[in-house]
Amino acid sequence: MSNGVIRTGIGGWTFEPWRGVFFPDTVKQKDELKYASSQLTSIEINGTYYSTFKPNSWMKWRDETPDDFVFAVKASRYCTNRKVLSENNDSLEKFLTQGLEELGDKLGPINWQFMATKKFDPVDFEGFLKLLPREIGGRPARHALEVRSPTFQTQAFYDLAAKYGAAIVYAVDDEAPEWPRIDEPTADFTYARLMSSREDEPTG
C-alpha cells in the first residue's frame, strides 16, 4: 500500500495584502507565483472561475513552478451557476478547452463550486457528472464538488459522488458557518478548503 501525499496550498497568488507579509518586499509582482510555489506544494487557480485564459498563460504557470508542483483549478461559474446543470455542454467545452492540458502533470483536481442557492437534484446532478471528462490531455481527470446547500447532506449525494469518483470538498469558512461540512470519502483523494483569517498570526 503506497503512502498518500498531503499538499498544502492557497487560493490564488495575486493578493495585495500579502505583499510585504507573505511576499517579501524584494519579490516583484510578476514573480509572485514563482515565489509562492517555492513555499507551497499546490495553489488553486481562482481566476478561472471568472474568466478564461489563453494556452500561453497555462504554459507560463506550468513553467514558473517546481517540477513536483500541482495546481487545482476552479471551474468556471458559467458551468456551475445554472438552473439546469445537465444542459451545460457549451459552457463546459469553453472551460475545458482553454488550455488546462498545458499544465501537464501539474494539473490537479478541478473544483466545481456551487452557490448556496443550488439545491441537490439527483437527476440533474447525475446528468452533470456524466458530462465531466474522464481524461484531460491524455491524463486522468480528477473532479471535486464544493456544495454549499444543506440539501446535499444526504446519502444519495454521497453515493452519486462515489459512483463517478468525484471528491466532495470539505469546506470551512468562518464567515459562512451555515455551509455544510461534509466529510465523506467518495474518491481516491481528499480536497479541503479552509477559509479563515486570524489577525494575531503574521501569516493570517
pLDDT of residue 1: 45
Asked whether residue 200 is assigned to any structural domain, the reply reads no
Full strand arrangement of the beta sheet holding 107-113? 9-11, 42-45, 70-74, 107-113, 143-146, 167-168
Residue 4 lies in a domain: no
CB-based contacts of 27: which residues, under 8 Å, 6+ apart? 19, 35
Residue 201 in any domain: the answer is: no
Could you tell me if residue 51 is inside a domain?
A: yes
Which of 60, 74, 79 lies closest to 132 in space, CA to CA? 79
Other Cβ atoms within 10 Å of 24 Cβ, number:
9
pLDDT of 198 reads 58
Q: Which helix (H) or strand (E) holds 94?
A: helix 89-96
Range of the domain at 165: 9-195
Asked whether residue 204 is assigned to any structural domain, the reply reads no
CATH number at residue 112: 3.20.20.410
- Write out the H or E segment, with its range, that includes residue 67: none
Please tell me the distance from the alpha carbon of residue 23 to that of residue 15, in angstroms, as a whole number.
10
Q: How many domains does the chain have?
A: 1
Per-residue pLDDT of the chain (204 residues; tens, 9 = 90+): 457 899 999 999 999 999 999 999 999 999 999 999 999 999 999 999 999 999 999 999 999 999 999 999 999 999 999 999 999 889 999 999 999 999 999 999 999 999 999 999 999 999 999 999 999 999 999 999 999 999 999 999 999 999 999 999 999 988 888 889 999 999 999 999 998 765 655 554
**Is residue 109 one of the residues assigned to a domain?**
yes
